[in-house]
Amino acid sequence: MATQVKVSSSNAHNLTVLAASCNVNDILKTISPRWKMQILSKILSGTNQFSRLKDLFPTLSDQILGKRLAELVKDELVIKKQIPGTVPLQTSYITTKKGIALMEIMDQLQKWGEKEW
Protein backbone atom coordinates (compact mmCIF):
# COMPACT_ATOMS: atom_id res chain seq x y z
CA MET A 1 0.00 0.00 0.00
CA ALA A 2 1.34 3.40 -0.95
CA THR A 3 2.22 5.81 1.81
CA GLN A 4 0.18 9.00 1.85
CA VAL A 5 2.14 12.24 1.70
CA LYS A 6 1.20 14.85 4.28
CA VAL A 7 -0.18 17.92 2.55
CA SER A 8 1.93 20.19 4.76
CA SER A 9 5.19 18.28 4.22
CA SER A 10 8.15 19.53 2.22
CA ASN A 11 7.80 16.40 0.07
CA ALA A 12 4.25 17.44 -0.89
CA HIS A 13 5.51 20.92 -1.70
CA ASN A 14 8.33 19.52 -3.84
CA LEU A 15 5.91 17.29 -5.74
CA THR A 16 3.69 20.30 -6.43
CA VAL A 17 6.62 22.36 -7.70
CA LEU A 18 7.83 19.51 -9.92
CA ALA A 19 4.34 18.94 -11.33
CA ALA A 20 3.96 22.64 -12.14
CA SER A 21 7.34 22.87 -13.87
CA CYS A 22 7.41 19.61 -15.85
CA ASN A 23 4.61 17.15 -16.53
CA VAL A 24 7.11 14.45 -17.50
CA ASN A 25 7.25 13.58 -13.80
CA ASP A 26 3.53 12.78 -13.84
CA ILE A 27 3.98 10.61 -16.91
CA LEU A 28 6.87 8.74 -15.32
CA LYS A 29 4.85 8.23 -12.14
CA THR A 30 2.00 6.78 -14.20
CA ILE A 31 4.12 4.31 -16.17
CA SER A 32 6.70 3.38 -13.54
CA PRO A 33 4.89 0.98 -11.17
CA ARG A 34 6.63 -2.37 -11.04
CA TRP A 35 5.56 -4.81 -13.80
CA LYS A 36 3.41 -2.27 -15.67
CA MET A 37 5.56 -1.84 -18.78
CA GLN A 38 6.51 -5.53 -18.85
CA ILE A 39 2.83 -6.47 -18.89
CA LEU A 40 2.06 -3.91 -21.61
CA SER A 41 4.94 -5.26 -23.68
CA LYS A 42 3.65 -8.82 -23.44
CA ILE A 43 0.09 -7.76 -24.35
CA LEU A 44 1.48 -5.95 -27.40
CA SER A 45 3.38 -9.09 -28.43
CA GLY A 46 0.21 -11.20 -28.29
CA THR A 47 -0.04 -12.56 -24.76
CA ASN A 48 -3.37 -11.01 -23.90
CA GLN A 49 -5.21 -13.08 -21.29
CA PHE A 50 -4.80 -12.98 -17.52
CA SER A 51 -3.84 -16.65 -17.19
CA ARG A 52 -1.27 -16.45 -19.97
CA LEU A 53 0.26 -13.31 -18.49
CA LYS A 54 0.36 -15.04 -15.11
CA ASP A 55 2.28 -17.93 -16.71
CA LEU A 56 4.89 -15.47 -18.02
CA PHE A 57 5.34 -13.82 -14.62
CA PRO A 58 5.03 -16.66 -12.08
CA THR A 59 6.29 -14.55 -9.15
CA LEU A 60 3.70 -11.84 -9.83
CA SER A 61 0.67 -12.16 -7.56
CA ASP A 62 -2.84 -12.32 -9.02
CA GLN A 63 -3.70 -9.20 -7.04
CA ILE A 64 -0.89 -7.10 -8.52
CA LEU A 65 -1.45 -8.45 -12.04
CA GLY A 66 -5.13 -7.52 -11.79
CA LYS A 67 -4.24 -4.10 -10.42
CA ARG A 68 -1.73 -3.38 -13.19
CA LEU A 69 -4.17 -4.52 -15.87
CA ALA A 70 -6.85 -2.24 -14.41
CA GLU A 71 -4.35 0.64 -14.43
CA LEU A 72 -3.46 -0.03 -18.06
CA VAL A 73 -7.16 0.05 -18.95
CA LYS A 74 -7.70 3.24 -16.93
CA ASP A 75 -4.68 4.85 -18.60
CA GLU A 76 -6.19 3.89 -21.98
CA LEU A 77 -3.08 1.92 -22.93
CA VAL A 78 -5.13 -1.28 -23.37
CA ILE A 79 -8.77 -2.16 -23.69
CA LYS A 80 -10.42 -5.10 -22.00
CA LYS A 81 -12.61 -7.13 -24.31
CA GLN A 82 -14.87 -10.07 -23.61
CA ILE A 83 -14.34 -13.12 -25.81
CA PRO A 84 -17.74 -14.11 -27.18
CA GLY A 85 -18.87 -17.70 -26.90
CA THR A 86 -16.54 -18.68 -24.06
CA VAL A 87 -17.84 -20.46 -20.97
CA PRO A 88 -16.94 -19.31 -18.43
CA LEU A 89 -16.72 -15.86 -19.98
CA GLN A 90 -13.13 -14.95 -20.80
CA THR A 91 -11.54 -11.59 -21.47
CA SER A 92 -8.55 -10.45 -23.42
CA TYR A 93 -6.53 -7.26 -23.42
CA ILE A 94 -5.73 -5.36 -26.60
CA THR A 95 -3.14 -2.62 -26.89
CA THR A 96 -4.53 0.75 -28.00
CA LYS A 97 -2.83 3.19 -30.38
CA LYS A 98 -1.77 5.14 -27.30
CA GLY A 99 -0.21 1.99 -25.82
CA ILE A 100 1.58 1.16 -29.07
CA ALA A 101 2.98 4.70 -29.25
CA LEU A 102 4.22 4.44 -25.65
CA MET A 103 5.92 1.11 -26.31
CA GLU A 104 7.70 2.62 -29.34
CA ILE A 105 9.08 5.30 -27.03
CA MET A 106 10.00 2.69 -24.41
CA ASP A 107 11.89 0.72 -27.09
CA GLN A 108 13.82 3.87 -28.00
CA LEU A 109 14.52 4.52 -24.32
CA GLN A 110 15.81 0.98 -23.89
CA LYS A 111 18.12 1.34 -26.90
CA TRP A 112 19.39 4.65 -25.55
CA GLY A 113 20.00 3.04 -22.15
CA GLU A 114 21.91 0.15 -23.67
CA LYS A 115 24.11 2.59 -25.58
CA GLU A 116 24.64 5.18 -22.86
CA TRP A 117 24.72 3.17 -19.63
CATH number at residue 94: 1.10.10.10
Give me the chain's average pLDDT, please. Answer: 92
pLDDT digits (tens, 9 = 90+) for 60-110: 999 999 999 999 999 999 999 999 999 888 999 999 999 999 999 999 999
Please indicate, yes or no, whether residues 56 and 92 belong to a single structural domain of this protein. yes
For 79-101, give one letter per residue: b (16+ CB within 10 A) or e: eeeeeeeeeeeeebbebeeebee
Torsion angle of the four alpha carbons 106, 107, 111, 116, in this order, in degrees rounded to the nearest 10: 0
Q: Give the range of the structural domain holding residue 16, as residue numbers without chain letter.
A: 1-31
Report the alpha-carbon distance of residue 79 to residue 75 in Å, rounded.
Answer: 10
Output the pTM of the full model: 0.82
pLDDT score, position 80: 97
Please indicate, yes or no, whether residues 62 and 90 belong to a single structural domain of this protein. yes
pLDDT grade for 1, boundaries at 50, 70 and 90: very low
pLDDT digits (tens, 9 = 90+) for 4-47: 767 788 988 887 787 777 778 788 889 999 999 999 999 999 99
Number of compact structural domains in the chain: 2
Q: Supply φ then ψ for residue 83, to 5 degrees.
A: -95, 110
